[in-house]
Structure 1
């Protein structure tokens, strides 16, 4: 058997150097969220059908293009091929197999144990490193600090010249408020690999948190020209661009981006991004004074019902509740209120009830429900930028009750960067 290794020096049990090279191409594309991450793993399998980790890589890539059945088939094939593989590869297949099968409760301890033993197995470590990972969606208090600790713990094993590890560390720094250091780390990461879509995304978040709307707009406008629309991050990066267009008063540009690259029927990304990004930008547009056609809300509500008919993730359910409430769809909204499930499910009813009251313009009741879940809404998941949806909602409720001073104080206390933005300095609300 050839002496093959992955990008991080881990042994690969394949007799084909070409298959190993194809696997590494797929691994690179997956970590960087580049377009066409499926094909390299398929090519590796074509060169060596018994290459177990190529089947795992294919499963992970298929999940990124929303092919759950294909991913589960690929992971079962990997499981059938582990005999004769190294201990690391067997652990790799087991841990990621639990994840692909949807067994997050068992996957998380298996993955953490694997990373403790094999910290340079980036394919596995990646599942805990981001806000949409197992820590990010754990629903537990302190998730942001835990992500920072996890990514900081990886640094000694990857060094200062690994673009992937640096980018994940930068995001964890950003989400815990260490913006100066995050800025330095992401610049280092992007200098090593400027084509990293995850890195471009993190760069955008840091500029969002520092209020650099023009710099962010210019960067994303240029960066997206070289990134295919089928890239898993394309729609979400477009959402960031749309947010900045709205903040800068260029609503024509905002709608152009939404209709081309964010909304259902246009975006090619994962359903979680299509739903949450569209619901978020529509709500922000409304409170900024833009007229949002009712059909837009009905479209997002229908999309949520199609892809997420049952509760399972508080971050998704928050946005689905908003879409249903704004569209006047009482039954799917009732389902979310009465049957929350998954991590942070205890926060979902109040968020959904607040959305219902906002849809009915019952501002005091909505503010009551929002206040009950604001103390630790980080447990819901997503980034600070995404959870600003809740901050905007509560501010809107206060302003609608002429509680302007309270709204100003709350904004300055909870999200001072928003208080400095052009969109909120005059505290406009048109909903």
Structure 2
């Protein structure tokens, strides 16, 4: 019988497939660029490996691209056909069922399948990480934490993926506001798994959320080897470093990182687009001229207006469209979002297009047209459910900043001040550079509006 690196049975006739599968799992946990190669090798060695076909489909859907959905459907068909021939275990079939659920636009059921695996097989870090990834897309940070903490007793010192578990725990702790524990878990995880870029970046999130940019730079500097092996996730870690330079006011370093690392490859992967658009938006809010950098992002995003796989992706495409002044494409996206919002029986994904998607997208378009009143009213309305768009606090913060700036510019100064105070409270009560600058702007606006500051007649 072939078993995986966690000691669980695999329905395989060729032991080499198991070796390749273990390599795929380790690569997936480390966000390694080699993961697709290991998966292909496992399927080449064992064409009837149902769980590997299912993994291919799940990985494909997590890319959030409409044109790749048929690839995921083909993977499901291959997995189901293989299962009829080989009769995999219930654990392996859970991944097939998860893929089927995700293709029906019910990713929460895919998560439930992974939880059923973990209830019976708590040492299965692959199932844990798949569920973690889908919960991230759904914005379910509390669920991330519960899932990890339920299985932690099964992770003794000899568990081969204990470091990666701690990295996931660090991120979940940070996203639920437990910053001190998050930093400890992330540091411990990296000491056990030197290539755990996820855990390393979780500690970077802690420094972002506690307004300690210099400590964040100190943490990342010299640890580049922990993310050099990564797929496009490495661009995201460089993005974190750029955010820290931005908070310290070193915009030249930000633009240098943008050109040399963050947009080193001009891909249209939504995760890469989100890094770039959110960074350029932050720079412009701080009065920095970003030159022609919007143009290639807008051109790529104009081709994605009908995508509709993830609202998180769509909102960042909209940032590119307003930044690059693609008014027609922005209206096309709003039209599609409006159609999604009117569906009588929306799927889980479509429901997010309506709430928070439509209000946020409408606010972004208005912001691009300098209609700050409309921008603020819509962005403020959408921010209450923005968590459902997925991503992290740091990623969603660009929309928070745009809401606050729209409020100040539109004269909703008290409302902007209240949102700024809420933002600071979520960050352990500590102000970052953005908050300090906006507090000064709000104070200046309030003093100008005060009667005693008006000139005498």
Check conservation: 2:51, 2:79, Cα contact below 8 A: yes
1:59-92 Cα distance to aligned partner (Å, 9 max, x none)? 5566678894665545543332223344235423
| Residue matched to 2:35 | 37
The DSSP-based 3-state class of the residue aligned with 1:222 is coil
| Residue matched to 2:249 | 249
TM-score (norm 2): 0.82
Q: Does residue 116 of structure 1 match 2:119?
A: yes
| Residue matched to 2:387 | 378
In the TM superposition, residue 171 of structure 1 has moved relative to its aligned partner by 1.3
The 2-side partners of 1:300 and 1:58 are apart by: 28
| Residue matched to 1:212 | 212
The 2-side partners of 1:267 and 1:224 are apart by: 21
Which sits farther off after the overlay, 217-226 or 402-411?
402-411
1:165-202 Cα distance to aligned partner (Å, 9 max, x none)? 22222211111111111122212211110211212221
| Residue matched to 2:3 | 5
Q: Does residue 426 of structure 1 match 2:402?
A: no
| Residue matched to 2:97 | 95
Output the aligned Cα RMSD.
Answer: 2.9
The DSSP-based 3-state class of the residue aligned with 1:137 is helix
The 1-side partners of 2:60 and 2:406 are apart by: 41
| Residue matched to 1:144 | 141
Which sits farther off after the overlay, 31-40 or 115-124?
115-124
* Aligned match for 2:402, one of 380, 393, 401: 393
Closer, same or farther in 2 for the Cα pair 1:227/1:184, shift >3 Å?
A: closer
In the TM superposition, residue 409 of structure 1 has moved relative to its aligned partner by 4.3
Q: How many residues align?
A: 418
> Which ranges of structure 1 fall in alignment gaps of 5 or more residues?
none
1:187-221 Cα distance to aligned partner (Å, 9 max, x none)? 22111102112122212112211222122223333
| Residue matched to 2:455 | none
> Which ranges of structure 2 fall in alignment gaps of 5 or more residues?
341-349, 442-457
| Residue matched to 1:337 | 334
Check conservation: 1:95, 1:114, Cα contact below 8 A: no
| Residue matched to 1:78 | 79
Which sits farther off after the overlay, 78-87 or 97-106?
97-106
Check conservation: 1:32, 1:199, Cα contact below 8 A: no
Check conservation: 2:4, 2:22, Cα contact below 8 A: yes
In the TM superposition, residue 401 of structure 1 has moved relative to its aligned partner by 4.0
| Residue matched to 1:167 | 167
The 2-side partners of 1:152 and 1:226 are apart by: 25
In the TM superposition, residue 314 of structure 1 has moved relative to its aligned partner by 1.9
1:251-278 Cα distance to aligned partner (Å, 9 max, x none)? 1221111122223x6256x712112111
In the TM superposition, residue 10 of structure 1 has moved relative to its aligned partner by 0.9
Check conservation: 2:366, 2:375, Cα contact below 8 A: yes
Closer, same or farther in 2 for the Cα pair 1:203/1:126, shift >3 Å?
A: same
The 2-side partners of 1:421 and 1:219 are apart by: 17
The 2-side partners of 1:356 and 1:24 are apart by: 46
| Residue matched to 1:290 | 288
Closer, same or farther in 2 for the Cα pair 1:261/1:409, shift >3 Å?
A: same
1:119-157 Cα distance to aligned partner (Å, 9 max, x none)? 433333322214xx1x33347xxx332222222223233
Check conservation: 2:242, 2:257, Cα contact below 8 A: yes
The DSSP-based 3-state class of the residue aligned with 2:357 is helix
| Residue matched to 2:20 | 22
Check conservation: 1:322, 1:355, Cα contact below 8 A: yes
Q: Higher helix share goes to which structure?
A: 2
1:338-385 Cα distance to aligned partner (Å, 9 max, x none)? 332424222222111211221121222211111212223212211111
The 2-side partners of 1:166 and 1:89 are apart by: 23
Check conservation: 1:190, 1:200, Cα contact below 8 A: yes
The DSSP-based 3-state class of the residue aligned with 2:359 is helix
Check conservation: 2:95, 2:113, Cα contact below 8 A: no
Closer, same or farther in 2 for the Cα pair 1:157/1:95, shift >3 Å?
A: farther
TM-score (norm 1): 0.86
The 2-side partners of 1:112 and 1:312 are apart by: 24
Closer, same or farther in 2 for the Cα pair 1:137/1:63, shift >3 Å?
A: closer
| Residue matched to 2:303 | 306
Check conservation: 2:359, 2:381, Cα contact below 8 A: yes
